Amino acid sequence: MRFLPVFFDLKAGPVVLIGAGELLRAKLRVLAAAGARVRVHAIDGDQDLGLSTEDAARIETAAGDPLTADLSGVIAIVCAGAGDVGVAMSVRAKTLGLPVNVMDDLEHSSFIFPAIVDRGDVMVAVGTGGTSPVVARRVREKIEALLPARIGELAEFIGGFRKSINERIAEFPLRRRFWERVIDGPIGASVLAGRKSEAGVALAAIADPSEFARADKPEGSVALVGAGPGDPDLLTIKALRALQDADIVFHDELVSPDILDRIRRDTTRVAVGRRVGKPGIGQDAINKRMIEAAQAGQRVVRLKGGDPFVFGRGGEEVEALRAAGVAYSIIPGITAGLGGAADFEVPLTYRHEATRITFLTAHKARDAEVVDWSTLTDTRMTVVVYMGMTAAPAIRAGLFAAGRSPETPVGVFARVTRPDAQGAIGTLRDLPELVRRVQGGPAILIIGEVVRHAGSLSRESLKKSSAQIISDLLDAAE
Ligand code: SAH
């Protein structure tokens, strides 16, 4: 480690910023956002600094040569797009013992700028020792995604109560447990949900903070989380956070291994799903185990393929949780139909051509018999069928009976958004053959005119590997 990350108080005096063009303006924005007083030497003479009036009050433009300018009281020197002047300025700053940064020039810098995640009082700085700002930015994006938007407000909220709680709990470890319980429990959740005053009332209502901290049973809860169709990058930010926070995850068989990899390592995982031909532990047993875990104080995630409320029995689970009085939340996911449509470039609606969508399930031929096919006669309706592989011949018969043409375009899309995704496109007449062609499920069927718009089926060749993306980025940055 060559550079130690520290946080610099900019209130002590002005920062001198020297440079030109967009590089100068970008650095000025960073310094202005941090509340700095800045003295700017625009060496190209461009006085348009693009500042808001609010910031402009703290920014002064300096005329004259920065190499001979008076630097008394100055707390740091920053050069961005300053060319040789930057190098000369660095020599001058070092003689005076002033911290100096010359952009993209480690040799002449005594400090460097990290990539910043700014959430008010919560600030994360990411550095790569000056080796690769592009990598630092990538890391920052990942952290941005993980941190709740209101984490800064949570820190501020706690800051507001810290003094009074410190006075009421003498022992440090107990104090820490008090705050951990607050952050992890309903009070923390209220602040993160933007309900600060509600949280304040709840915190003020804690009569005995020491006793609250000592309570050994945390409050458990269940999050019903949609895992999407397979690609872990399609998890929502909320879903990812829930997976990282969970003590125990009950997951369906359909959830892809890549997604299970995103669960924290020390979290208990329990596979509870059914698969075709293989019974699971049963819905009642799943409900019972989730409720018991939450009542024992665990943060439970019930992880389901796609979206929990689309053919996922999420509704029944919520009813059981309500009946048991367990706190729960629902985090939607991308359902297989939408994942497949995006993956194979089938727009589910299309101006004039397709004006409505039906999602239906036909697991067995028997299910297909109970579908009211007469509701599906409209040729401008796109039909998306879940669990429809075995019942393909019955589905075809039903749609024929509804008057759909044998020439209706059909796509069978298997393992969508996964590396081994496969699709087969043809007409309704060939449906059972198309199902055979994709070599196994899970698969959805999309039926309707829109399938004509499907993109290339060899999307693998179109997809760039992540290594390729990073190398492209590096090229662009050079
Ligand atoms: N809740 C899930 C659906 C569960 S029913 C969702 O919203 O997606 C299970 C059916 O979903 C499968 O039989 C199949 O039709 C479909 N399915 C799930 N994952 C899929 C995938 N990766 N590719 C294609 N179909 C999938």
> What is the three-class DSSP state of 280?
coil
What is the C-alpha separation between 331 and 301, in angstroms, rounded? Answer: 10
Helices 172-184, 151-168: inter-axial angle, 10-degree rounding = 140
Q: 228, 234 in Cβ contact below 8 A?
A: yes
Residue 66 lies in a domain: yes
473 assigned to some structural domain: no
The verdict on 159 and 204 lying in the same domain is yes
Q: How far is the CA of 114 from the centre of ligand 1 (A)?
A: 42
Residue nearest to atom 3 of ligand 1 (CA): 311
Q: In what order do the strands lie in the sheet with 299-304?
A: 268-271, 248-251, 299-304, 221-226, 328-331
Quick one: pLDDT at residue 262? 93
454-460 long-range contacts (CB < 8 A, ≥24 apart) are 454/344, 454/345, 454/346, 454/411, 454/423, 454/425, 455/344, 455/345, 456/345, 457/344, 457/423, 457/425, 459/343, 459/344, 459/421
Pocket test for ligand 1, best of 307, 316, 348, 444 (most atoms within 8 A of CB): 444
What CATH number should be reported for the domain holding residue 440?
3.30.950.10
Same domain, 20 and 106: yes
Band (pLDDT 50/70/90 cuts) for residue 477 is low
Alpha carbons 90 and 94: distance in angstroms, whole number: 6
How much is the average pLDDT of 424-429?
A: 96
Ligand 1 centroid–CA 444 distance in Å is 7
Q: 441: CA distance to ligand 1 center in Å?
A: 9
Q: Are residues 20 and 79 in the same domain?
A: yes
Best mutation site among 311, 383, 417 for ligand 1 pocket (most ligand atoms within 8 Å of CB)? 311
Query: Is 125 a domain residue?
Result: no
Instruction: Using the 3D structure, point to which of 319, 334, 349 is the last residue of a domain.
Output: 334
- Which residue lies with its CA nearest to atom 18 of ligand 1? 336
Nearest CA to ligand 1 atom 2: 306
What total number of domains does the chain contain?
Answer: 4
Are 237 and 318 within one domain? yes
Ligand 1 centroid to Cα of residue 260, in Å, is 17
- The strand pairing partners of 278, in sequence order, are 275
Domain final residue, candidates 277, 306, 334: 334
State the distance from the centre of ligand 1 to the C-alpha of 391, rounded, in angstroms.
15
Question: What CATH number corresponds to the domain at position 248?
Answer: 3.40.1010.10
Residues 21 and 89 in one domain: yes
pLDDT tier, 277 (very low <50, low <70, confident <90, very high otherwise): low
The CA 52 to ligand 1 mean position distance, Å, reads 50
Q: Which atom of ligand 1 is the closest one to the Cα of 421? A: 23
- The DSSP symbol for 376 reads G
Note the pTM of the prediction, 2 decimals: 0.69
Residue 245 has pLDDT above 70, yes or no: yes
Predicted confidence at residue 459, as pLDDT, reads 43
Protein residues whose CB sits closer than 6 Å to any atom of ligand 1: 229-230, 254, 304-307, 310-312, 335-336, 340, 386-387, 413-416, 418, 441-444
Q: How far, in Å, are 17, 36, 70, 79 from residue 43 at the CA level?
A: 10, 20, 17, 11
Note whether 345 and 462 are within 8 A (CB). no
Range of the domain at 60: 15-113
> 445 C-alpha to center of ligand 1: Å?
10
Q: How confident is the model at residue 458 (pLDDT cuts 50, 70, 90)?
A: very low
- Which residue among 214, 232, 263 closes a domain? 214
**What one-character DSSP code corresponds to residue 113?**
P
Does residue 368 belong to any structural domain of this protein?
Answer: yes
In this prediction, residue 465 carries a pLDDT of: 43
Asked, for residue 97, whether it belongs to a domain, the answer is yes
How many CB atoms neighbour CB 30 within 10 A?
Answer: 15
Atom of ligand 1 nearest to the CA of 334: 7
Distance (angstroms) between ligand 1 centre and the Cα of 381 equals 20
**CATH code of the domain containing 190:** 1.10.8
476 is a domain residue: no
> What tens digit of pLDDT does each residue of 182-237 get?
998 878 988 988 889 989 999 999 999 999 988 877 678 899 999 999 999 999 98
